[in-house]
Structure 1
Amino acid sequence: MLGSIYIGMSGLTAYAKGLQTISNNVANLNTPGFKATTPRFADLFYGQQFAPGQPGSTSTQSFGSGVEYGYASIDFGQGDIRQSDGQLDLAIQGTGFLALLDGDKVQFGRTGQFILSNDGYIVDQVTGLRLTALDSAGQPEAISVTGKTISPPAATTYVRFSDNLSSGATEFSIPDVVVYDGNGTEHALSISFKPDNAIFPGRWAVTITDENGKVIQTSPLQFLGGIPEPGMDTIDVTMSPAGAEPFTFTLDFSSGVTGFSAGSVSTLKVSGSDGSLAGTLSSLFIDADGVLNIGYSNGESLPLSPIALAHFNDPQQLTQQGNGLFDASHASAPQYATSRGPGVGALISGAVEASNVDLSTEFGRLILIQRGFQASSQVISTANEMIMQLFQMRGTQG
């Protein structure tokens, strides 16, 4: 009967730990990236040798000695993906883990809300761990924007045009065509077109004038059958602005420009150009391919490395830590990939993964844990009553 009391006590201990597991799940109902755990129990047995038959024969009979709390199985099911306000908030649709650096040690998580730290690294604002990208060897390294916060100025190399320059027009001009020199200084040019077809039908004289009204150059533009003639469909313009190196850019009429008759109305316009002034870091964002990009105030952007994701053959080998992190010290080495790579899902920016705790499931387990605890308690009470009866019988005999 004393053994029965110990067996009942093992039940109380095991179910108390199970209750702790369920309580932790319920408490983390709204914790981003939290993965629910399921309590697992194991039976306890011990063996006793005895010889019931002939001399030298042995047999083993097993006696139950109760129950123990075995382990907590982690449920890696997908939690809801919820939109957030942070451009650097990340979640994973599907399997895989974010690789985060804690010094030289790699920790893993399913979601995170990241910010740019003062030392130039992308860090989780809760844990301070550094977000990683894949290096040339396919291993995770901390992402840093140090030395990349300024976008240098770039001189214009082309100005592209589109639409129609009517052959029936007597003149046409496009004002405020913006180009940039090597220092990033903006220059607003005026480009005018006048027919010059006295000798060559379909020819135009193109005059480029700077913001001070000074003519930079005049060059011919030739149309043939309403289409710019190859070899005469571009104009190279060289500017020598004060305080900057001379630079050359091309006026490109070769694609999307026509010279058909439309009366006096022309619709010719600038369709694109390059060059920019100096820019400062204005935003950080992750594109659809899982690549971190820097956005600058001058409209330019710089793609960095793709975010590192990790795949484990057996995620149950991971140890659950606080703040939605998992430790892989006792797990087999992970395989690293980028978004939508082998074994990993798609990286989603501007979102976080919610907890995967299901309240109805937890309450169902709670009832089972409660019933098990009550039954173990009843076993102890019954064994105690039987021992008391033995004591009473002894007292009566005495």
Structure 2
Amino acid sequence: MLNSIYIGMSGLTAYSKGLQTISNNVANMNTPGFKGSTPRFEDTYYGQQFAGSTPGTPASMQFGSGVQYGYASLNMAQGDLRSSSGQLDLAIQGNGFLTLLDGDATRYVRTGQFTIGQDGFIEDKVTGLRLAALTDSGKTVPVSMTGLQSSAPKATTAVTFSDNLSTGSTDFSIPDIDVYDANGGKHTLKVAFEPDSDVIPGRWKVTVTDENGLPVTEGPFQFNGGIPEPGADTVDFTLTSTSAPPLSLKLDFSNVTSFSAGSSSTMRVASKDGYAFGTVTSMSVNADGKIEIAYSNGQKALTDVVAIASFRNPGLLTQAGNGIFDASTAGPPNWCISDHDGAGTLVSGSTESSNVDLSSEFGQLILIQRGFQASSQVVSTANEMIMQLFQMRGQG
């Protein structure tokens, strides 16, 4: 009967630990990237005792020693992906893991809310661990935003025009042409066209004025049979400013035609280079697994490829808190990039929710409660039987 008490006590201990697992799952139902665990129980050592041999039965009996809490089996099923307000928040649609660098150590997460640290590296908001990128040689390095948090201005050098400047036009102009100096300063020009065929047939006079209506330059360009004449199809000038170096500009009319279309001209600005200083407006992951940065001046930049790790048996990973997994017992990972090799696809502006299923947890909770109650009843019954023995001895 004493053995029965010990066996019952083993049940109380095992189910208490099982309750800890269930309570931890329920408590983390709203923790991003959390993976629930399923409690596993194991029977313990069986001893043998001699028994009288009877036909068809063995000459010994086996007695178990109770139950023990074996391990908590990780449930690596994916949680729901939820949109978030963080541009650098990342999740994975699939089986892979984001990689975080902790000095010389490497950690893994399913989702993360990232920000740009003071040293220019992308790091997890909670732990401060750096997000890893994958180099061409297969090494992991921190994702750096150094030099990418703004876009330097570029001076305009050429404005290219296209379509038709009708020979019947007598007063045609294109206003609001924005050009930029080397410091990113914007200058708004107006280009007016006036036929000057009295001097040479097919010649036009170009007048450029600034945003204040002040003349900047004046010059001719030439058509020959409605087609720009090579060598006479551009107007070059220099725009001066008190806040920036002189800006050398070229007006390129090589793609313009001059055919009769009455008084209606369709000539327009086809393209121009140069842009102002730009600040970051958005960040997202592109199809190649790189973080794409868009700037207010229309430019874009890319980081290195965000590293994704995949494991042959992710169930061997161990949880280390804050959604972090340790791979010491799971073996080395296979390095992948987004949407390749079955590791999953990076989703920006999203986080992965916990995969805890409350209905399943409550079902497990009921089973553990019943097991604990039954083990408690075994202990109580064995204790009563021992008390009865003591009473019998006193009566003798």
State the TM-score, normalizing by the size of structure 2.
Answer: 0.86
CA distance in 1, matches of 2:164, 2:233: 16
CA–CA distance in 1 between the matches of 2:276 and 2:240? 15
Tell me the equivalent position of 2:245.
244
Whether 1:263 and 2:262 are equivalent positions in the alignment is: yes
Shift of 1:375: 1.3
Q: Distance in 2 between matches of 1:141 and 1:150?
A: 22
Letter paired with 1:325: I
Return the offset for 1:209.
Answer: 1.9
The CA deviation at 1:18 is 0.8
5 Å matches for 1:31-42? 31-42=31-42
Instruction: Compute the displacement of 1:99 (Å).
Output: 0.7
Cα distance, 1:61–1:248 mapped onto 2, change above 3 Å:
farther
Q: What is the CA distance between 1:389 and its match in structure 2?
A: 2.5
Return 166-175 or 357-366, whichever deviates more. 166-175
Query: What SS does the corresponding residue of 2:275 show, helix, strand or coil?
Result: coil
Say if 1:373 and 1:193 are closer, same or farther in 2 by CA, change over 3 A.
same
272, 286, 289: which is aligned to 1:288?
Answer: 286
Q: Secondary structure at the match of 2:138?
A: coil
> Contact 2:32/2:353 (CA < 8 Å) preserved in 1?
yes
Q: 2: distance between equivalents of 1:247 and 1:50?
A: 106
* Bigger mean CA offset, 262-271 vs 160-169: 160-169
In 1, Cα distance between equivalents of 2:299 and 2:100: 28
Aligned positions of 1:87-236 closer than 5 A: 87-195=87-195, 203=202, 205=204, 207=206, 209-211=208-210, 212-215=214-217, 217-221=219-223, 224=226, 235=234
2:336 partner amino acid: A
Aligned residues of 1:221 and 1:232 also touching (Cα < 8 A): no
Aligned to 1:380: 379
Distance, in Å, in 2 between the alignment partners of 1:67 and 1:198 is 109
Shift of the 217–152 alpha-carbon distance from structure 1 to 2, 3 Å rule, reads farther
Alpha-carbon distance between aligned partners in 2 of 1:76 and 1:342, rounded to the nearest angstrom: 19
User: Which amino acid in the other structure matches residue 215 of structure 2?
Assistant: G
TM-superposed deviation, 1:302: 1.8
Aligned partners of 1:158 and 1:252 also within 8 Å: no
Q: 1:83 to 1:178 in 2, by over 3 A?
A: same
For residue 157 of structure 1, report the CA deviation from its aligned partner.
3.8
The amino acid of 2:381's aligned partner reads: T
Cα distance, 1:268–1:103 mapped onto 2, change above 3 Å: same
Distance 2:5 2:229 in 1: 100
Residues 275 and 51 (structure 1), Cα distance of their counterparts in 2 relative to 1, 3 Å cut? same
- Work out whether 1:314 is the aligned partner of 2:313: yes
Distance 2:119 2:152 in 1: 21
Q: Residue 304 in 1 paired to residue 291 in 2? A: no
One-letter amino acid of the structure 1 residue matched with residue 305 of structure 2: P
Identity of paired residues, percent? 54
Aligned residue pairs, count: 386
Conservation of the 8 A alpha-carbon contact between 2:197 and 2:204: no
Tell me the residue number matched to 1:355: 354
Query: Unaligned 5+ residue runs, structure 2?
Result: none
SS for the counterpart of 1:214 is strand
Q: Which amino acid is 2:10 matched to?
A: S
2:225 & 2:351 partners in 1: Cα distance? 57
CA contact (8 A) 1:160 1:273 kept: yes
Q: Distance in 1 between the 2:220 and 2:232 partners? A: 14
Q: Deviations over 1:284-343 (max 9, x none)?
A: 512332322344443433212122211111111111121111111222111222221213
- For the structure 1 residues 135 and 250, does the alpha-carbon distance in structure 2 shift closer, same or farther, using more than 3 Å as the test? farther
Distance 1:141 1:375, change over 3 A: same
2:15 touches 2:371 (CA, 8 Å); kept in 1? yes
Change (3 A) 1:159 1:26: same
What is the identity, as a one-letter code, of the residue corresponding to 1:315?
P
- Which stretch has the larger CA shift, 229-238 or 90-99? 229-238
Per-residue deviation, 1:239: 2.8
- Structure 1 position 238, deviation (Å): 4.8
Q: Paired residue for 2:79?
A: 79
- Is 1:333 aligned to 2:332, yes or no? yes
Name the residue aligned to 2:365: 366
Aligned AA for 2:131? L
Distance 1:210 1:318, change over 3 A: same
Q: Quick one: which amino acid aligns to residue 278 of structure 1?
A: F
> Aligned in 2, Cα 1:270/1:246: closer, same or farther, shift over 3 Å?
closer
Q: Which residue of 2 aligns with 1:43?
A: 43
Closer, same or farther: CA 40–250 of 1 in aligned 2, 3 Å = farther
